[in-house]
């Protein structure tokens, strides 16, 4: 649903950084805050041509210049390569962090970010959220507000974590008797890093520590995927009314199990379907198994509910044909489980402890 208003705190007129902007920069910032497609994470698609039609005399080139100035002043983060813009302090200044459900929506929106630079900036914002100001009293709820919001932040950190810059070199195998030379192995070169910027004083707008030059770099290769947990037979009709698993948790697990990060649109659609199924009371074990099978098949996100339904219902057959629990894995499930087990064994052989 499109937003109906943009929230600008009156305290912004006491912010020295904001007052140092010129009228055009201040107006552009207010323009961005009031965009109807701004999500709860503060993310906007970078649509210069469309925005330029909103005011007489405005041009894409002029907007690009103003946005670069706002980026330099650290009010926004722009990535021209991925065509994304982040209003850095939106989660804090809009009060998103005070409401667990809205914070969950913010994490879902953040999972659509493709830019490495924007992800880093948002993670820095998570460190600025004053969790100690939230209530730690759960009352009649399973978790307190502070715990729920903290879980959402932890989910975002797991989803956005990056591989180590210098992975350990693969050990050479012993040279068999009779061989004179060991197999050659080229030394791994660490990724280049540009110079960082110095620290600046904080204000009501968060301050990032990356440069726009860094933003244009390609994403680092993802770490080796981890197989899904071993197959667990579901309990027919199982519903967990207080299941702490959220859509963001399942998305984070899924991203850990794929070799390359999917496009933001795919992540967003997948997160939406996962949330809908959890809201319907479908047990997380069913969803996990369906997510594993769906991932192995490489299907469109819209088919995910159908695959979950398949693993929930298509495998239950009469007790007389199965034994005690009334469950027998389908051929597809067995193949997927075998593939994951094989991947785990190969990974263990490649990286012996």
Give 253-308 pLDDT, tens digit per residue. 888 778 788 888 888 888 888 888 888 888 888 888 888 888 877 888 888 988 88
pLDDT digits 0-9 by tens, 46-75: 999 999 999 999 999 999 999 999 999 999
Q: Structural domains in the chain?
A: 10-163+206-215 (1.10.10), 247-350 (no CATH)
Given a contact cutoff of 8 angstroms between Cβ atoms, the answer to whether 254 and 295 are in contact is yes
* Mean pLDDT in residue range 107-120: 93
161-181 average pLDDT score = 53
Q: What is the pLDDT of residues 282-292, one digit of tens each?
A: 888 888 888 88
* Cα dihedral: 120, 124, 127, 129 (round 10): -110
Reply yes or no on whether the pLDDT at 170 is more than 60.
no
Nearest to 308 by CA among 331, 292, 329: 292
Question: CA angle at residue 209 from 208 to 213, to 5 degrees?
Answer: 105
Q: With beta carbons less than 8 A apart as the criterion, state whether 117 and 210 touch.
A: yes
pTM for the structure as a whole: 0.52
Q: Are strands 76-79 and 84-87 parallel, antiparallel or unpaired?
A: antiparallel
Q: Is the pLDDT at 18 greater than 90, yes or no? A: yes
Confidence band, pLDDT 50/70/90 cuts, at residue 182: very low
- Give whole-number Cα distances, 346 to 64, 170, 184, 214, in Å: 49, 14, 22, 35
In the numeric block, which tokens belong to residue 212? Answer: 């726009």
């Amino acid at each position: 649903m499109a937003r109906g208003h943009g929230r600008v705190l009156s305290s912004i007129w006491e912010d020295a950084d904001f007052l140092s902007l010129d009228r055009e920069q201040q107006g552009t910032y207010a323009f961005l805050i009031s965009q109807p497609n701004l999500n709860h994470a503060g993310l906007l698609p970078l649509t210069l041509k469309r925005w330029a039609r909103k005011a007489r005399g405005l041009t894409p080139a002029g907007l690009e210049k103003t946005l670069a100035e706002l980026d330099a002043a650290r009010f926004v983060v722009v990535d021209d390569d991925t065509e994304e813009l982040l209003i850095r302090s939106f989660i804090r200044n809009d009060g998103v962090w005070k409401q667990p459900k809205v914070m969950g929506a913010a994490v879902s929106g953040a999972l659509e970010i493709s830019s490495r630079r924007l992800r880093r900036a948002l993670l820095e914002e998570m460190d600025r959220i004053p969790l100690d100001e939230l209530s730690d009293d759960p009352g009649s709820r399973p978790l307190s507000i502070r715990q729920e919001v903290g879980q959402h932040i932890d989910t975002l950190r797991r989803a956005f974590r990056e591989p180590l810059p210098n992975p350990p070199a693969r050990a050479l195998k012993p040279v068999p008797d009779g061989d004179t030379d060991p197999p050659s192995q080229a030394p791994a070169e660490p990724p280049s890093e540009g110079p960082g910027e110095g620290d600046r004083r904080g204000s009501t707008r968060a301050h990032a520590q990356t440069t726009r030059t860094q933003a244009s770099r390609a994403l680092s290769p993802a770490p080796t995927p981890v197989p899904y947990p071993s197959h667990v037979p579901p309990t027919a009709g199982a519903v967990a009314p207080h299941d702490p698993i959220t859509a963001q948790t399942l998305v984070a697990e899924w991203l850990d199990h794929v070799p390359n990060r999917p496009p933001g649109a795919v992540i967003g659609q997948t997160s939406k379907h996962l949330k809908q199924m959890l809201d319907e009371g479908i047990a997380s074990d069913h969803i996990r198994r369906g997510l594993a099978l769906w991932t192995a098949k490489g299907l469109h996100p819209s088919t995910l509910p159908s695959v979950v339904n398949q693993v929930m219902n298509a495998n239950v057959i009469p007790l007389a044909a199965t034994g005690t629990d009334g469950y027998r894995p389908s051929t597809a499930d067995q193949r997927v489980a075998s593939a994951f087990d094989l991947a785990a064994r190969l990974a263990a052989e490649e990286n012996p402890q």
